[in-house]
Structure 1
């Protein structure tokens, strides 16, 4: 056994500690004196950690983008299904022309379908390279999922434009007073 300190020797003589316990404490003290202090993280470790963090962030961004694309594709598929399920059968030989983007498109309709389309009860939706008529309720469901599939909707567009035109016209004609006794 290595030279013990005087306190340990006194404790041993007094019988307060066992010889094995003194040896164990001496070994721990010796290990603590000669052990290397834990070194801080090296530059290589810091660079590796930063690279791991950047990769994790890129992976999260890519996953979020993939989820967004999957959600968009799912909504588009739902809209296509609604159009296929709820389309109104077309018949007739009267051409109805409308614009989509910069092109003029034509669908064949009968007079009843033309009236419903003009009143806004029916809407024209595009699916792939063809056009289908939808009832307004189905068109609203399609619009919630993919608004770009709705090509022509007289009911929605005309309501906002009509109010703007009416209010502009009312403001202009308010300056002209019409006599109460005017008889036509």
Structure 2
């Protein structure tokens, strides 16, 4: 079935009858869906490229969301470990330590002070304050979030004065020094 424009072009002699018949057959095939795939049209290539870019962007967003979810999960695990394993600071003696360039204090008794000095206890950041944790729990927290550890004498081996500067080796620090 030809359209009026094809008839007019045929009467004017601008196209041949065989060419019009071929175009009609191709149009019929396209309508029935049996047409051979033509060379990729530029629109199809653009659509495929846009689809690939969209899929890549979706993958990147999904990876970012997964990383954020993993970080939130680790923070929740650290919070749970601290809340279940914390040791209540007991005593009136302040124990001073450095955290973030500032001197902080937590009140402990003599046994806790000795355990902190040996590395059997560690101090971790918890909410707006600090908590004491035993060595095993502190290792679990450090594996999940190393930044949560405020003080851990077992993880940071102390240098003695002779290693830093031989001149200071002449002035030993007394064992009972409290600052």
The TM-score, its normalising length taken from structure 2, stands at: 0.69
RMSD over equivalenced CA pairs, Å: 2.4
Q: Which residue of 2 aligns with 1:165?
A: 163
Q: Specify the alignment match of 1:101 in structure 2.
A: 100
Query: More helix by proportion, 1 or 2?
Result: 1
Q: Which residue of 2 aligns with 1:42?
A: 41
Structure 1: which 4+ aligned runs deviate by more than 6 Å? none
- Report the number of matched residues: 135
1:147 aligned partner: 146
User: Structure 2: how far apart are the matches of 1:50 and 1:82?
Assistant: 48
Equivalent-residue separation in structure 2 for 1:154 and 1:37 (angstroms): 75
Structure 1 residues not aligned, in runs of 5+ = 1-29, 170-184
User: 1:156 aligns to what SS in structure 2?
Assistant: coil
The normalised TM-score by structure 1 is 0.67
SS of equivalent residue, structure 1 residue 154: coil
Structure 1 Cα separation of the partners of residues 141 and 97 of structure 2: 20
Instruction: State the partner residue of 1:11.
Output: none
Q: Distance in 2 between matches of 1:111 and 1:154?
A: 16
